[in-house]
Structure 1
Amino acid sequence: MTEKKHSPKSSPCVQITGMGIVSAIGHNIAEFTRSLADGKSGVRRIARSTTPPLAVAIGAEIDGFNFEQMLGQFSDMPESLTQSVQHVTRRAPFTIQTSVISALQAWRQARLDDKPIEPERIGLVIAGHNTTQNYQYSLCSDFQRNPEYLSPRYALQFMDSNQIGVLSEIFNIRGEGFVTGGASASGNVGVIHGARLIQAGLVDACLVVGVVADLSPMEIQGFCTIGAMGGKQFHDQPEKACRPFDALHEGFIYGQASACLVLESGDSANARKAPGLANILGGAINLHATASAQPDIDGETKAMNAALQQSGLAACEIDYLNTHGSSSPLGDKVEIQAIEQVFGDHFPRVRLNATKGLTGHCLYSAGVVEIIATVVQMQQGFIHPNINLENPINATANFCGATAVSQPIHSAMSNSFGFGGINTSIVLQKIPADTDF
């Protein structure tokens, strides 16, 4: 482990100034925060019926989502914004509607409706790919009976870039915009590229939206076929199925969430007097050159070390690490070995947990969900529990137990790793609540 501090490269400070979420454990940041602190799991039996039946009917799906009702919570929203939302979301797919709600939450927390930024100076990154499979699957039987059944808008709606069109029209975003794909690392990939847009001076702020993974029975069967998805041994006790770093883990448990961050340069946030929630000190992406789903200790280690190098922090200065922690036996084993290698003597002291134990694995949006969880814990001064961690696979790791613990967090790391050898890590720093502008 390298104890010496590194000097970060000179680049604009990137802050998080807004956050929004729609998930299985909360439809806004306040509900999500309470669920984290209480150790509330969103994993349950999946109620929807499908043809054929789901291979594994356990997951943390978004429950009770009503777009019109949730839109009604923004009653003081400017009329122009309300009309724009209603125009482009009428009969929109579920993935679009959840993105819009999480983005509205983040946009308004960042005060971008009453303290705006020039539209050309705002970027948009959609974190997630292949996001419309269940939407397409649901239309297939009707299409086979009558091809003309298709909506005239289907040609736009089946493309991931529809998220860019809808959100840019709602918020009048006219800077750079694109979709980032990185399997389960998509969220972190999106955040890192959003931060890079700001650091390059191309935009002053960037909306990063982690899109709901709305899987069809085909994708669920595919994950089961390769042995990636768990839930079989606890099919009668679904709340116990997601077990990151526990000896009885058997694979990831499907989760759903749309999560959004507003990233902004420190200068822009200060000029607008928009309170910063956290600084992004560093973020790294690498590949370990494989077409498989196998994790790689060298790739994961390099990602964490590179993020630390960018941040200017030594490993011993990290108080807390939000692990990838997918509940996959091999994935958990490799990650904990990589963390131990990176943190060395500090390994027994850095606090660890896995948000997926509560939310399930939200796939494309997981990285954004877990950054939000990290920032929430920083702000509130607690570490959320690992509710099913009964027999840890590593006896020296400083895992949080069955209940939340109070702890100040000044600096934190969040990992996300994806199939196809995609390794990412991000370093965050708390911004004191009494920061002057």
Structure 2
Amino acid sequence: MTSPEQRGVVITGLGVTTAVGQGKDDFTAALFEGRHAFAPVRRPGRSLPGDESAAPFLGAEIAELSVPEAFPARVLRTASLSARVALATMSEAWHDAGLDGVDPTRIGLVAGGSNFQQRELTQAHARHADHPEFVRPTYGLTFMDSDLCGLCTELFPVRGFAHTLGGASASGLLAVLQAVRAVRSGQVDVCIALGALMDLSYWEFQAFRSMGAMGSARFAHDPGSACRPFDRQRDGFVFGEACGAVVVEREGARRHPEPYARVLGMATAVDGNRNPDPSLAGEISVIGGALAEAGLTAADVEYVNPHGTGSLLGDDIELRALAKCGLGHTRINATKSITGHGLTAAGAVEVVATLLQMREQRLHPTRNLMDPADPSFGWVREESVPYEFETALSLSMGFGGLSSAICLRKWR
């Protein structure tokens, strides 16, 4: 009899909401078209107050959000943007995996990320600065990240466990890895990993720009050219609102829809560094660790979905790590060139993008990759390309020295 740790883990459901498309079908079409939504940000609370001369922050914002009508209006009235997007995204993944008949006590939820609701908190503080006694009592709940889990478990029958997991920009992928561990250990049979939308305010935009992580105002008059991972003209990431959900379950635990993929191997590392600097050793470590757990060599990997933010230093370090691990032969593209950087959501959204490309046997283009930092890689550039592949590696890194990787194989 096999132990839970020896049983296979599969991905059976996906959900996605981004500025370029909500739902798997629209998102897939956007990826292959290279569709973008980059523009000066417009949401209240994202522009520097009282300074009309300041260069606008650029980003990709969700224009319209479709939330299932079954959700009670009284609940949605007090739900933040992050929470509403989470509900819509989780609903798609839930129904995609057909979870209605599963014992709720055998379902878990990991919401990847922290500080989800900075913009709405900034607005609340400004609104009640002179009269804090008028703040809504529900603020005592909604300012906490755990409110997102509470809302999701109130509207979906998840009774195994639910918690958040913060890992900066690696949070979304770390949530997927934690979900896999929960299923492997037998804690639950099904676990939903949610890369939650991080709703930035002008405080975070300004800090990211000041530290050089976020792109400058150089492309203010041509926002579509601003996000350019791995291109020599890159100068930082461009924010993109996004949320991804991935349903992980133990293979054979129930009769489920045909899975998207098996999880073969995964790894995380920390390099003891509080700063945003990437770690070559850490990235090499997680690539090697994921391949080792999967029982694969570098030659077995056919496609890499990289972290690829457009960072001056980060992109170079990532390419060096891939080269040192023998992955220069793989096809590679950058999902963030289309979606922007979803921060806490990015890792989960990129697992979704990887699996949708695997399902379609086609790779999306990398926007603005005019002059690759290292042209020796198998870049997918201006146009999407058909590509038959079964084995993929997805990488995600976060401030604080976090590196993570997952190896996936197409279900057959």
Counterpart amino acid of residue 331 in structure 2: R
Query: For residues 55 and 219 of structure 1, what CA distance do their matches in structure 2 show?
Result: 15
**How far off its partner does 1:56 sit?**
4.3
Contact 1:326 1:332 in 2 (8 A): yes
Map of 2:40 onto structure 1: 45
Q: Distance in 2 between matches of 1:287 and 1:100?
A: 31
Mapping 1:47-196, distance limit 5 Å: 47-48=42-43, 50-52=47-49, 56-65=56-65, 69-72=66-69, 82=70, 85-86=72-73, 88-113=75-100, 116-196=101-181
3-state SS of 2:67 partner: helix
Tell whether the 8 Å contact from 1:56 to 1:220 is kept in structure 2 after alignment: no
**What is the count of residue pairs matched by the alignment?**
404
Tell me the amino acid that sits aligned with residue 71 of structure 1: P
Give the drift of 1:48.
3.4
Task: Summarize deviations over 1:243-288 as a string: whole Å, max 9, x none.
Answer: 11100000010111111111111112xx223221111111111101
1:332 aligns with 2:315: yes
Give, in whole Å, the separation in 2 of the partners of 1:293 and 1:88: 37
* Distance change >3 Å, CA 121–CA 403, structure 1 → 2: same
Which 5+ residue runs of structure 2 have no aligned equivalent?
none
Do 1:18 and 1:109's aligned partners in 2 also have CA atoms closer than 8 Å? yes
Matches of 1:425 and 1:195, distance apart in 2: 13
Correspondence 1:198 to 2:187: no
Once the two structures are superposed, residues 125-164 of structure 1 have per-residue CA deviations (whole angstroms, 9 ceiling, x without a partner) of: 0101011111110111221122133222111100000111
> Alpha-carbon deviation of 1:393?
0.7
**How big is the shift at 1:51?**
4.5
Residue pair 1:210, 1:260 contacting (<8 A) in 2 also: yes
Matched, 1:209 2:194: yes
User: 1:377, 1:409 within 8 Å by CA — same for their partners in 2?
Assistant: no
Equivalent residues of 1:324, 1:415 under 8 A apart: yes
Q: TM-score, normalised by structure 1?
A: 0.90
- In 2, Cα distance between equivalents of 1:419 and 1:191: 18
Residue aligning to 1:424: 404
Q: Does the 8 A contact of 1:194 with 1:208 survive in 2?
A: yes
> Structure 1: 5+ residue runs without aligned partners?
1-8, 73-81, 433-437
Q: TM-score, normalised by structure 2?
A: 0.95
Q: Write the distance in 1 (CA, Å) between the matches of 2:263 and 2:273.
A: 29
Alignment correspondent of 1:22: 17
For residues 288 and 401 of structure 1, do their structure 2 counterparts lie closer, same or farther at Cα, with a shift above 3 Å needed? same
Q: Is the 8 A contact 1:231 1:253 kept in 2?
A: no
Q: 1:372 aligns with which of 352, 366, 373?
A: 352
2:382 to 402, 415, 423: 402
**2:303 corresponding residue in structure 1:** 320
Code of the residue aligned with 1:95 in structure 2: it is: S
Change (3 A) 1:252 1:303: same
Matched, 1:296 2:296: no
CA distance in 1, matches of 2:129, 2:387: 57
* Aligned mates of 1:272, 1:365 — CA distance in 2: 29
State the Cα deviation string for residues 322-359 of structure 1 (Å, max 9, x = none).
0100001100000000000012xx51x20011100000
Deviates more, 1:143-152 or 1:193-202: 143-152
What secondary structure does 1:267 align onto?
coil
Residue identity matched to 2:401: G
Q: CA deviation at 1:171?
A: 1.2
**Between the two proteins, what is the percent identity of the paired residues?**
35
The correspondence for 1:276, drawn from 256, 259, 267, is 259
* Equivalent residue for 2:337, pick from 349, 354, 357: 357
Counterpart contact for 2:97–2:256, Cα < 8 Å: no
Question: Root-mean-square deviation (CA), in Å?
Answer: 1.5
Alpha-carbon deviation of 1:45? 2.1
